[in-house]
Amino acid sequence: MEETSLPRPSSSSSLNIGLDIAHAFFKPIQGSAPPSTTKRHNKITVVGVGNVGMAIAQTILTQDLADELALVDAKADKLRGEMLDLQHAAAFLPRTRILASVDYQVTAGSDLCIVTAGARQIPGESRLNLLQRNVALFSKIVPDLAKMSPDAILLVVSNPVDVLTHVAWKLSGFPSNRVIGSGTNLDSSRFRFLVADHLDVNAQDVQAYIVGEHGDSSVALWSSISVGGVPVLSFLEKQEIAYEKQTLENIHRAVVDSAYEVINLKGYTSWAIGYSVANLARSLLRDQRRIHPVSVLAKGFYGIEQEVFLSLPAQLGRGGVLSVANVNMTEEEVQALRRSAETIFQVQSQLN
Ligand SMILES: NC(=O)c1ccc[n+]([C@@H]2O[C@H](COP(=O)([O-])OP(=O)(O)OC[C@H]3O[C@@H](n4cnc5c(N)ncnc54)[C@H](O)[C@@H]3O)[C@@H](O)[C@H]2O)c1
């Protein structure tokens, strides 16, 4: 295994001197408790140290979500550079052991494996061709992750996230509750930001979900939006306050377009997806049982018949997906959700 992390002190003679110095500095306390064998120890793996993977890694570190962080990428030099750059921040961060390798052994025993590796679109390349290349890439990554961490939760971020989460589920052999796509968790955050901006309130007080595909066929659940516990649309209707349906559609359109806008302006998206995925990692590993719109196996929910992954408001905890919330959708919203499922299924069906 080519582990590019610093070796453990016991594996290096120069660092053994370091251990001797440590003994001189610190007088051991006799009979002090040995390290607990039952204390929860969290290990997170991030595959792909590009813009997205590194934004996720740095948010995980600053938010103290892991005791051990393993990074994997196909590019050994870039990987080592990123690992060292993070390790050099040790004096400013909670203590986390950071490892990196092109070899999947480094990921062994992970509680959560986050996949952000992805091929870049070649000019003129069709979306389907890009997808096929990403599927080929996943067929190398996912079986190794599953072998090294058979009890882990898999969290897919690479796009198209819904189809690739289905691919990851098939390749891993994991039960569906342990395979999740980051889905519309980010879209919903963008949605909450835009609604909050419109009403001049704090986005954390806006409860609003985008469900369905992480992409053009996503569905904004206007009927269940609430601000500070007040259901927005029924409040406006009861008060006979006129609102333009077009305004609502414009906000949803802005959510769908916002990724394209950021990519056009800075070349990629990173910070918001970093926070969004770290937020999911917290709910999963700290068993927060919070509801997040994430990509889950949707067959059987809301009348969806296809075996597709798409985003539904799901309760997340240490066991992965614990349940799917029974949101009261309008008939129009349910129909749009089913169309979104069909859109994903059409793309999925073109794969072998
Ligand atoms: N789901 C979401 O909300 C969301 C948001 C933003 C980006 N994304 C997706 O995340 C993915 C990554 O985006 P990015 O901007 O970080 O791209 P990037 O090109 O900066 O990084 C991709 C990384 O994957 C690595 N990689 C390629 N093949 C690999 C392999 N076989 N094994 C290990 N690593 C490999 C590359 O070396 C590179 O470091 C893309 O698919 C992007 O569309 C998803």
Q: What is the pLDDT of residues 219-234, one digit of tens each?
A: 999 989 999 999 888 7
Q: Which two tokens stand for residue 220?
A: 């904004």
Place of tokens 């990724």: 259
Q: Which two tokens stand for residue 280?
A: 């999911």
CA of 50 relative to ligand 1 center, distance in Å: 6
Mean pLDDT of the chain: 90
- The closest alpha carbon to 320, from 207, 169, 144, 186, belongs to 169
Q: Which two tokens stand for residue 102?
A: 């092109």
Sorted by sequence, the CB contacts under 8 Å of residue 38 that are 6+ apart come out as none
pLDDT band at 240 (very low <50, low <70, confident <90, very high): low
d(CA 222, CA 215): 17
d(CA 70, CA 226): 39
d(CA 110, CA 152): 6
Quick one: average pLDDT of 144-153? 98
Give 168-197 pLDDT, tens digit per residue: 999 999 999 999 999 999 999 999 999 999
Whether 192 and 299 have beta carbons less than 8 Å apart is answered as: no
Better pLDDT: 229 or 124: 229
d(CA 220, CA 234): 16
Q: Residue 93: what pLDDT?
A: 96
Quick one: average pLDDT of 205-216? 95
Q: Please report, as a single letter, which amino acid is at residue 213.
A: E
CA of 49 relative to ligand 1 center, distance in Å: 7
Whether 311 and 341 have beta carbons less than 8 Å apart is answered as: no
Residue nearest to atom 9 of ligand 1 (CA): 158
d(CA 169, CA 138): 11
| Res 124 pLDDT > 90 | no
Q: Which of 188-192, 198-202, 271-275 has the lowest mean pLDDT?
A: 198-202
Give whichever of 257-261, 290-294, 324-328 has the largest mean pLDDT.
290-294
Q: What is the largest CA-CA distance in the chain?
A: 78
Q: Is 50 annotated as a binding residue?
A: yes
Better pLDDT: 64 or 24: 64
Q: Is 116 in the pocket of ligand 1 (CB under 6 A)?
A: yes
Q: Is 255 in the pocket of ligand 1 (CB under 6 A)?
A: no
The DSSP H or E segment spanning 292 is strand 290-297
CA of 31 relative to ligand 1 center, distance in Å: 48
| Res 11 pLDDT > 50 | no
DSSP label at residue 339: H
Q: Which two tokens stand for residue 325?
A: 């919330």
DSSP label at residue 212: B
Alpha helices, DSSP H, located in the chain: 13-25, 51-62, 76-87, 127-148, 161-172, 185-199, 232-238, 245-266, 271-285, 331-349
What is the pTM (predicted TM-score) of this model? 0.92
How far apart, in Å, do the first and last CA atoms of the chain sit? Answer: 33
Q: Which two tokens stand for residue 184?
A: 């519309």
Which of 2, 46, 73, 292 gets mutated to test ligand 1 (max ligand atoms within 8 A of its CB)? 73
Whether 351 and 135 have beta carbons less than 8 Å apart is answered as: yes
d(CA 242, CA 244): 7
